[in-house]
Structure 1
Amino acid sequence: MSSEQSVLPNVNVSLENHLISLLQPLIPITDSALSTQLAQYLSEPKDIIPYDILLSVSRWSRSPAGSNVLRACSPPIDAHSYSMIALLAGTTTSPERKFGPYQPPQEPEQLGAQKKRERKAITTIINGVLSVIGSGAAAWIGSERTNWRQEWRVLFALFVAFVVAISETVLYILWQSRSSSSNKVRKYINAKKEDSENPSLPNSDTTEMEKAHHDGLRLRIQMKSTSAN
Structure 2
Amino acid sequence: MGAKTETVLNISLKTHLLEILTPLTPLLPSELAIQLSPYVSDPIPQTVPYSLLQSVSQWTRTPAGLVALQTASLEPQSYSMIALLAGSVTSPERKFPAYIRAKSPEEAAALKKAERQAITSLINALLSIIGSGFAAWWAAGQTGWKNEWQVLFSLFIAAVVAISEAVLYLIWDSRRSQDRSPRKLKVSAKRRDEGEVLDVSRIEHGIPLGLRQRARRTATNDAMS
TM range (shorter): 0.5 to 0.7
Aligned to 2:54: 58
Aligned to 2:209: none
Does the alignment pair 1:168 with 2:168? no
Aligned to 1:30: 30
Aligned to 1:92: 88
Aligned-residue offset at 1:59: 5.3
Give the 5 Å matches for 1:102-181.
Answer: 104-181=101-178
Map Cα deviations across residues 120-164 of structure 1 (whole Å, 9 max, x no partner). 122112211221122213322443344332221110110110121
TM-score between both structures, scaled by the size of structure 2: 0.56
Across the two proteins, how many residue pairs are aligned to each other? 182
Distance 2:185 2:20 in 1: 55
TM-score between both structures, scaled by the size of structure 1: 0.55
Aligned-residue CA RMSD in angstroms? Answer: 4.6
Distance 1:170 1:73 in 2: 76
Equivalent pair of 2:12/2:88 in contact (CA under 8 Å) = yes
Aligned-residue offset at 1:107: 2.8
What secondary structure, in the 3-state scheme, does the structure 1 residue paired with 2:152 have? helix
**Percent identical residues:** 34
Which of 75, 78, 81 aligns to 2:67? It is: 75
What secondary structure, in the 3-state scheme, does the structure 2 residue paired with 1:75 have? helix
Distance 1:140 1:146 in 2: 10
Distance 1:193 1:109 in 2: 17
Aligned-residue offset at 1:116: 1.3
89 and 197 in structure 1: CA distance in 2 versus 1, 3 angstrom threshold: farther
